[in-house]
Amino acid sequence: MNGIKKSIYNVFYKTSGVCFILFCTIDFLYAQGTDDVVNALVNAGYENVSREIGETEEVIMFENTLWRANGDGIREAIKLIELYPVTPGKGRRVVVLRNKVPQVSLLLRPGEAAGTEWNVSYELGDSWKKVHDKKFANNSRWKADLVFYPQFSLRNQKFHKIYDVLFNIAPALELAPFRGTKITGQVIIPVFNEFGGLYDDVRPGYITVQQNFRVENVFLQATVGNFNQNRWGMDLSFFRPFTKGWLQYFAIKGGVGLTGSSYFIDWNWHYGPTKLFTWNVGGSYYNPRYNVLCEVRVEKFLAGDIGVRADMTRHFKRASIGFYVMKNDYDNLDGGFHFSILIPPMKYKRKRVRVTPAKYFNMEYKAAGLFFNGKSYKTNPGQNKAEENFNPYYIKSQIQNN
């Protein structure tokens, strides 16, 4: 009997020891995984990286400042993340940030293994609310980019000449001191000018302070400063995508502005009072099969005319190309095309200050060449349809596009 008791005791003792070692090993591996995922993303060059395990989900956050195309950056980050095991019994949610403001999330539900198709959505889930204030590794605060923007314009307004040409190089210093905040200061250097004396001088371009917010699924952007189209003042815009049912392909957007005239001649600022009120409101439909964005909006333009503009844009891996048509209440009809093409290099790490060309070369061609009517301003030099495209269907197509 004593021998049997001794044998049972030995089996229990050894089994308990093995289980304890296995438990500690697994716990250690997942604890190491926590640091390893963050370190892998940081070492690759991603910023604002964090990882937290909530009650039901493991939440990983990162911002792509490494790859110039959003699709490339998110795809390569997901490849890194999939190298590390999912926490048992929990889902894995990856939140993509832009200037520390969440744009979209990618979700693996509990029980789904790495390599399973990710569910991409504007929805952030309940776990996000509990972990979004966690400190970031490789924080982007006060890091700066010196970005050289090419500015190329054509104007068809003369009978004896096909086009007038304007080409500038416009370096801009851009930095993000706080969550959602971006400060931009730009200088425009003329290279070739056939637009007239107003464009001859070296002069300031965009000088702005911009703040981005997200309230549930509403994206808000407030900007004050000096814009293009010789305007200065303030602007507020919103974007509201729908996320459920058949409405998930649609979104509404709009904005209001209060601006005045702004000219720099011989480095003297000539400005008018901010009394021009402009606005726009519209909607969009995204076709996921072809990555085509269709937009329609009603807008009050800078000359006081009110019109309707419709755009159709096809998003490719590293370019966005589209067409538009505009009709206003002065009976002006205009149309043309626009494109944004990625400028190499494809990726570029940032330490403290990074000197780089613009991400995209942008151009819009207006067939009618209206001098005053049908025009609106932009609030920052990198504002284009490619760089601002975080549509979940587009992101999903880029993850699958290896």
DSSP 336-354: EEEEEEEPSPSB---SSEE
377: pLDDT strictly greater than 90 = yes
Residue 267: pLDDT band (50, 70, 90) is confident
Q: Please state, for a pLDDT cut of 70, what percent of the chain lies above it.
A: 90
3-class DSSP state of 293: strand
In the CATH scheme, what architecture does the domain 2-139 have? 2-Layer Sandwich (3.30)
From residue 348, alpha-carbon distances to 68, 143, 317, 351, 359 in Å are 8, 14, 18, 10, 11
Region 286-305: mean pLDDT is 97
Domain ranges of the chain: 2-139, 144-396
Axis crossing angle, helix 70-81 with helix 2-44, rounded to the nearest 10: 160
279: pLDDT strictly greater than 90 = yes
DSSP 213-239: EEETTEEEEEEEEE-STTEEEEEEEEE
Which contacts of 237-246 are long-range, i.e. CB under 8 A and separated by 24 or more positions? 241/122, 241/217, 243/121, 243/122, 243/123, 243/217
User: Token pair for residue 173?
Assistant: 């210093």
Cβ atoms within 10 Å of 343's Cβ, excluding its own: 17
Residue 22: pLDDT band (50, 70, 90) is very low
Residue 196: pLDDT band (50, 70, 90) is confident
Predicted pLDDT of residue 12: 37
Q: Phi/psi at 141 (nearest 5 deg)?
A: -60, 130
* Spatial distance between the Cα atoms of 257 and 231, rounded to a whole number of angstroms: 10
Q: Which of 207, 209, 143, 147 is nearest to 182 (CA)?
A: 209
List CB contacts of 268: < 8 A, sequence separation 6 or more.
none
Region 116-137: mean pLDDT is 84
31: pLDDT strictly greater than 50 = no
Q: Give how far the C-alpha of residue 398 lies from the chain's centroid of Cα atoms, to the nearest Å.
A: 15
Bridge partners for 284 per DSSP: 251, 295
The pLDDT tens digits for 129-152 are: 777 677 899 999 999 999 999 999
Q: Which of 284, 283, 238 is nearest to 257 (CA)?
A: 238
Bridge partners for 276 per DSSP: 259
Q: Give the gyration radius of the chain's Cα atoms.
A: 26
381: pLDDT strictly greater than 50 = yes
400: left (phi over 0), alpha (psi -120 to 50) or beta: alpha
117: pLDDT strictly greater than 60 = yes
24: pLDDT strictly greater than 60 = no
The pLDDT tens digits for 305-360 are: 999 999 999 999 999 999 999 999 999 999 999 999 999 999 999 989 999 999 99
* Spatial distance between the Cα atoms of 200 and 194, rounded to a whole number of angstroms: 9
Q: Judge whether 268 and 260 are in contact, CB under 8 Å.
A: no
Predicted pLDDT of residue 114: 65
